[in-house]
């Protein structure tokens, strides 16, 4: 069993994917080919954002927004403590200070009260300039942008949706990657919509920000390639990646998103009496980048993970360390306690999750979990 079965997906879409890649090779339009434009148009329309600007990866997408907003030394950017390293890394890379806040125990997403407490603490101290909030759509579910936007408005802060794991989720009819002042996503292979290498995108409505991003991702280009009007970076999505993302995006919309939700429902039905199963808030929809259960404590989690490994059932611990405990952030002041994150790092376990899991495979996983836990 695979944790995320990209091979089955490839075999289902083989002719479209192979055909798309072959056309790029034949036309030799490897960089900035028309497939990139086509993909950007389709993704923007799907998400409901005016502009989609693709780039090299999800980390660059966040970095490009730090550049667009002029985030710099002395600024504070608020980041959830329970997330992938890149969400905080880009803030420090811009020279600013990441201020970590806690998440909710059931959805794993930003806790608006903890965020507000962190903002107040930074304001009270008066050393840093609060500039922006990063919220993460962890494991596929959008963060609560209704609450978060209120906090952002109250303290006059920019709000950035890190939708690296969240593409395809929604709140009501509003899609992930359309919240806040800007949103980003990642096409890393294991993401809900993944390519065959690195890739990412920024979504914005503001025309000037979109122009800036289109320039800065290609060495700060002006009206033509060798006219450079600002210092930028080199961060483009390869045409081959765009070409294979087009059929993958079609499958994602036509059946993958629905199928992965059926997998989640079956997992929850099978496991809800035995472990803490993930919660999707009423009116929210997840794209299930991960299906993470919670165990009683670290010992039980580790025993279960090892026992599942013996049955060839792969699992992952996302994430074993709070951001504020990462060595790279040593010396960065903690303004609020993040006790929920501390606990989640000890108790979460992500199960195999993708749209191509059969009912038989799901039952094999859940029967083994029940059996292992009952034996304890
Ligand atoms: C929440 C989050 N933000 C940012 C990233 C960075 O994306 P990439 O790996 O494409 O740079 C990831 C990737 O795992 C992520 O999960």
- Structure confidence by residue, pLDDT tens digits, 260-300: 999 999 999 999 999 999 999 999 999 999 999 999 999 99
Q: Does the Cβ of 200 fall within 6 Å of ligand 1?
A: yes
- Evaluate if residue 243 carries a pLDDT over 90: yes
**How far away, in angstroms, is 58 Cα from ligand 1 center?**
5
- Evaluate if residue 21 carries a pLDDT over 90: yes
Closest-CA residue to 328 (of 92, 16, 70): 92
Nearest 5°: CA angle at 36, between 212 and 40?
65
Q: Does the Cβ of 164 fall within 6 Å of ligand 1?
A: yes
- Write down the pLDDT at residue 174: 98
For residue 85, CA distances in Å to 89, 92, 184 come to 6, 11, 15
**How far away, in angstroms, is 136 Cα from ligand 1 center?**
10
Write out pLDDT tens, residues 354-375. Answer: 999 999 999 999 999 999 999 9
Ligand 1 atom nearest to CA at 200? 10
Say which residues have a Cβ less than 8 Å from residue 85's Cβ, sequence separation at least 6: 323, 326, 328
In this structure, the residue with its CA closest to atom 8 of ligand 1 is: 58
Q: Does the Cβ of 58 fall within 6 Å of ligand 1?
A: yes
Give me the helices (H) in 222-358, please.
239-251, 257-271, 298-310, 339-347
Domains by residue range for the chain, with CATH: 6-101+109-247 (3.40.640.10), 255-375 (3.90.1150.10)
Give me the helices (H) in the chain, please.
6-27, 34-47, 58-68, 86-93, 112-125, 145-154, 207-216, 239-251, 257-271, 298-310, 339-347, 359-375
- The residue to mutate among 185, 188, 289, having the most atoms of ligand 1 within 8 angstroms of its beta carbon, is 188
- Write down the pLDDT at residue 203: 99
Q: Does the Cβ of 109 fall within 6 Å of ligand 1?
A: no
- Write down the pLDDT at residue 16: 98
3-state secondary structure of 162: strand
Q: How many residues does the chain have?
A: 376
**CA 88 to CA 349: how far, in whole Å?**
22
Whether 48 and 57 have beta carbons less than 8 Å apart is answered as no
Write out pLDDT tens, residues 45-98. Answer: 999 999 999 999 999 999 999 999 999 999 999 999 999 999 999 999 999 999
- Write down the pLDDT at residue 224: 87
- Mean pLDDT, rounded, for 303-329: 98
- Write down the pLDDT at residue 225: 82
- The residue to mutate among 55, 66, 84, having the most atoms of ligand 1 within 8 angstroms of its beta carbon, is 84
**CA 192 to CA 288: how far, in whole Å?**
7
**How far away, in angstroms, is 137 Cα from ligand 1 center?**
11
The tokens describing 89, both together, are 């890394």
The tokens describing 314, both together, are 């792969």
3-state secondary structure of 206: coil
**CA 65 to CA 69: how far, in whole Å?**
6
Q: Does the Cβ of 192 fall within 6 Å of ligand 1?
A: no
Percent of the chain with pLDDT over 90: 99
- Evaluate if residue 376 carries a pLDDT over 90: no
Write out pLDDT tens, residues 115-154. Answer: 999 999 999 999 999 999 999 999 999 999 999 999 999 9
**How far away, in angstroms, is 57 Cα from ligand 1 center?**
8
Ligand 1 atom nearest to CA at 199? 10
- The residue to mutate among 62, 81, 83, 86, having the most atoms of ligand 1 within 8 angstroms of its beta carbon, is 86
Q: Does the Cβ of 84 fall within 6 Å of ligand 1?
A: yes
Q: Does the Cβ of 136 fall within 6 Å of ligand 1?
A: yes
Phi/psi for 314 (5° steps) reads: -80, 140
Element (H, E) at 182: strand 182-186
Is-above-0.95 flag for pTM?
A: yes
**Torsional sign, CA 363, 313, 11, 19:** positive
Q: Which burial class, exposed, middle or buried, applies to 355 when counting CB atoms under 10 A from its CB (0-12, 13-18, 19+)?
A: buried
Q: What is the DSSP letter of 250?
A: H
Q: Does the Cβ of 176 fall within 6 Å of ligand 1?
A: no
**How far away, in angstroms, is 3 Cα from ligand 1 center?**
18
**CA 274 to CA 369: how far, in whole Å?**
9
Write out pLDDT tens, residues 185-235. Answer: 999 999 999 999 999 999 999 999 999 999 999 999 999 889 999 999 999
């Amino acid at each position: 069993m695979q944790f995320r079965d990209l091979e089955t997906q490839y075999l289902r879409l083989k002719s479209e994917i192979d055909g798309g890649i072959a056309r790029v090779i034949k036309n030799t339009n490897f960089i900035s080919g028309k497939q990139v434009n086509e993909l950007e148009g389709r993704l923007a329309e799907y998400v409901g954002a005016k502009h989609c600007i693709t780039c090299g990866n999800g980390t660059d997408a966040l970095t490009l927004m730090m550049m667009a907003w002029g985030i710099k030394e002395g600024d504070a950017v608020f980041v959830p403590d329970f997330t992938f390293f890149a969400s905080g890394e880009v803030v420090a890379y811009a020279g600013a200070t990441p201020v970590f806040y806690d998440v909710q125990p059931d959805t794993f997403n930003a806790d608006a009260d903890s965020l507000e407490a962190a903002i107040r603490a930074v304001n009270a101290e008066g050393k840093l300039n609060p500039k922006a909030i990063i919220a993460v759509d962890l494991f596929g579910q959008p963060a609560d942008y209704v609450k978060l936007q209120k906090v952002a408005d109250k303290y006059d802060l920019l709000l950035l949706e890190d939708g690296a794991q969240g593409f395809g989720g929604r709140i009501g009819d509003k899609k992930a990657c359309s919240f806040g002042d800007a949103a980003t996503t990642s096409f890393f292979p294991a993401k809900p919509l993944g390519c065959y290498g690195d890739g990412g995108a920024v979504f914005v409505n503001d025309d000037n920000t979109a122009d800036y991003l289109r320039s800065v991702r290609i060495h700060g280009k002006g009206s033509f390639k060798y006219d450079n009007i600002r210092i930028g970076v080199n961060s483009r999505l390869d045409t081959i990646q765009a070409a294979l993302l087009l059929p993958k995006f079609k499958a994602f919309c036509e059946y993958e998103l629905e199928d992965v939700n059926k997998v989640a429902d079956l997992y929850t039905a099978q496991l809800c009496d035995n472990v803490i199963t993930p919660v999707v808030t009423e009116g929210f929809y997840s794209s299930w980048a991960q299906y993470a259960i919670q165990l009683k404590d670290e010992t039980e989690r580790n025993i279960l993970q090892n026992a599942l490994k013996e049955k060839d059932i792969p699992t992952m611990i996302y994430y074993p360390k709070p951001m504020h405990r990462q060595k790279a952030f040593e010396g960065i002041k903690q303004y609020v306690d993040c006790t929920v994150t501390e606990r989640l790092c000890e108790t979460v376990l992500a199960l195999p999750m993708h749209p191509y899991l059969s009912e038989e495979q799901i039952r094999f996983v859940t029967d083994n979990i029940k059996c292992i836990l009952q034996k304890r």
